[in-house]
């Protein structure tokens, strides 16, 4: 459903009224397209504190131009990884304060920090302060701009993350804190089709967000397996045929679902995307047991069972990627969704505990995306007032699109994203609740 308010605020009367009444003024977001794959403009590289990251070669490969000083910068990267005390935070202010007004609309601000040093509480305090700065600045900047924090020790390991955050693909990702680990050498891949030669299985892929994820992974070169319930087989086959992929009608809650997936794909899986999910909303006091158990079964139990089975069978190849779908409801909670919130919070627990084990034992990373208000057929059916509140209750003052979740999934699935593990990344335009 079209966001008429967003369209209206772009007209002269809309700009006048929103300014006079103090209403949200969302800016149209610049998203990726084949015709315009990069942001337009230069990249401003700033430093606070002493840093030895050696960012210049990595930033030069982002598609932006660090040497371009003409016009308004499309992005600002502040390297604050060397900040170790409160005095260093003064340098952060001194670096950002003069340039914020110059950042172009739909621009990017990325702050780089270091992991917290458990042996130095002054460094830990200063680096944690960067998180408060990032989340607050994201709520101030407006104009479709995003602000994110990346904690890193190795610029090369963070390259795929920086390329994502400094591109139109991250249009609805803001106010996030992402930690990258040690450098993970990636197999050679084509820049335009990094998933070429890889197989990606997406559950719940016959429609909505799952379909967008399948489309985006196919765009990046993957052979996509479109899994959905047998009742949606016709839609699944339609999507698979369009993407030159494979349809796999299967109830993911079946006890033997993992074994059947492994049997259907004897050559193994490189990317596993757990997207299938259901809602059965009702306040807990009025919720029968069936509504509770059905949501937990689809959204959490099936993910646990299937993941365990595929890892045990060796069906996920070394260098593989698992991306699960969490939700803002599992982070901030949502009235009428105790079952859904519990299931999605469970996904967060799964990711954070399985990630180190899966990486050590199988060479597989485990991450999650946590969507906020995304414009789908489900949200289009929400009553008007509730829908409008959902759209505006984030720093970008608008709903996201399924492609926003898909682009974030594709980044986590990228062969060069091996240093990103155990992360839960919200795709919510920086929701004003739980963010």
Q: What local confidence, expressed as pLDDT, does residue 72 receive? A: 92
Q: Report whether pLDDT(435) > 60.
A: no
Least confident among 70-74, 205-209, 319-323, 395-399: 70-74
Q: Which residue has the higher pLDDT, 344 or 189?
A: 344
- Is a pLDDT exceeding 60 seen at residue 255? yes
Q: Which domains does the chain have, with CATH numbers?
A: 1-28 (no CATH), 31-179 (3.40.50.720), 199-427 (3.40.50.720)
Q: Which residues are catalytic?
A: 340
pLDDT mean over 270-295: 96
Arithmetic mean of pLDDT, 321-325: 98
What average pLDDT does the structure give for the chain?
93
3-class SS letters over the chain: CCCHHHHHHCCHHHHHHHHHHCCCCCCCCCCCCCCCCCCCCEEEEEEEECCCCCCHHHHHCCCCECCCCCCCCCEEEEEEEECCCHHHHHHHHHHHCCCHHHCCCCCEEEEEECCCCCCCHHHHHHHHHHHHHHHHHHHHCCCCCEEEEEECCCCCCCHHHHHHHCCHHHCCCCCCEEECCCCCCCCCCCCCCCCCCCEEEEECCCCHHHHHHHHHHHHCCCEEEEEECHHHHHHHHHHHHHCCCEEEECCCCCCCHHHHHHHHCCCCEEEEEECCCCCCCCCHHHCCHHHHHHHHHHHHHHHHHHHHHHHHCCCEEEEEEEEEECCCHHHHCCCCCHHHHHHHHHHHHHHHHHHHHHHHHHCCEEEEEEECCECCHHHHCCCHHHHHHHHHCECCCCCECHHHHHHHHHHHHCCCCCCCCCCEEEECCCECCCC
pLDDT of the residue at 434: 65
């Amino acid at each position: 459903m079209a966001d008429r308010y967003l369209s209206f605020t772009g007209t002269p009367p809309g700009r006048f009224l929103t300014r006079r009444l103090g209403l949200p003024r969302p800016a149209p977001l610049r998203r990726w397209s084949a015709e315009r794959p990069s942001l337009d403009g230069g990249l401003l590289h700033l430093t606070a504190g002493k840093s030895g990251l050696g960012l210049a070669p990595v930033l030069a490969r982002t598609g932006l131009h660090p040497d371009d000083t003409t016009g308004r910068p499309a992005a600002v990267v502040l390297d604050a990884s060397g900040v170790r005390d409160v005095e260093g935070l003064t340098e952060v202010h001194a670096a950002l304060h003069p340039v914020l007004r110059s950042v172009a609309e739909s621009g990017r601000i990325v702050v780089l920090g270091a992991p917290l040093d458990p042996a130095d509480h002054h460094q830990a305090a200063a680096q944690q302060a960067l998180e408060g700065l990032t989340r607050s600045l994201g709520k101030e900047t407006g104009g479709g701009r995003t602000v994110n924090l990346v904690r890193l020790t190795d610029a090369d390991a963070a390259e795929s993350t920086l390329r994502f955050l400094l591109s139109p693909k991250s249009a609805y990702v803001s106010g996030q804190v992402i930690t990258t680990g040690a450098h993970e050498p990636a197999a050679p891949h084509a820049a335009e089709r990094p998933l070429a030669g890889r197989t990606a299985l997406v559950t719940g892929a016959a429609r909505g967000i799952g379909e967008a994820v399948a489309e985006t992974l196919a765009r990046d070169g993957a052979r996509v397996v479109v899994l959905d319930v047998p009742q949606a087989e016709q839609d699944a086959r339609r999507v698979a045929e369009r993407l030159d992929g494979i349809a796999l009608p299967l109830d993911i809650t079946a006890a033997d679902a993992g074994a059947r997936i492994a049997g259907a794909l004897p050559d193994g899986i490189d990317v596993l995307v757990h997207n299938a999910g259901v809602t059965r909303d009702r306040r807990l006091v009025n919720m029968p047991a069936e509504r509770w158990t059905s949501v937990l079964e689809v959204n959490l139990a099936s993910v646990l069972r299937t993941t365990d089975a595929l890892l045990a069978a060796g069906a996920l190849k070394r260098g593989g990627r698992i991306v699960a779908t969490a939700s803002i409801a599992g982070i901030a909670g949502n009235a009428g969704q105790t079952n859904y919130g519990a299931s999605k919070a469970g996904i967060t627990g799964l990711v954070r505990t399985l990630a180190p084990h899966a990486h050590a034992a199988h060479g597989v990373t485990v991450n999650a995306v946590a969507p906020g208000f995304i414009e789908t057929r489900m949200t289009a059916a929400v009553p008007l007032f509730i829908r409008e509140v959902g759209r505006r209750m984030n720093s970008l003052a608008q709903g996201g699109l399924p492609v926003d979740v898909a682009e974030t999934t594709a980044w986590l699935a990228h062969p060069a994203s091996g240093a990103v593990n155990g992360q839960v990344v919200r795709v919510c335009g920086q929701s004003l609740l739980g963010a």
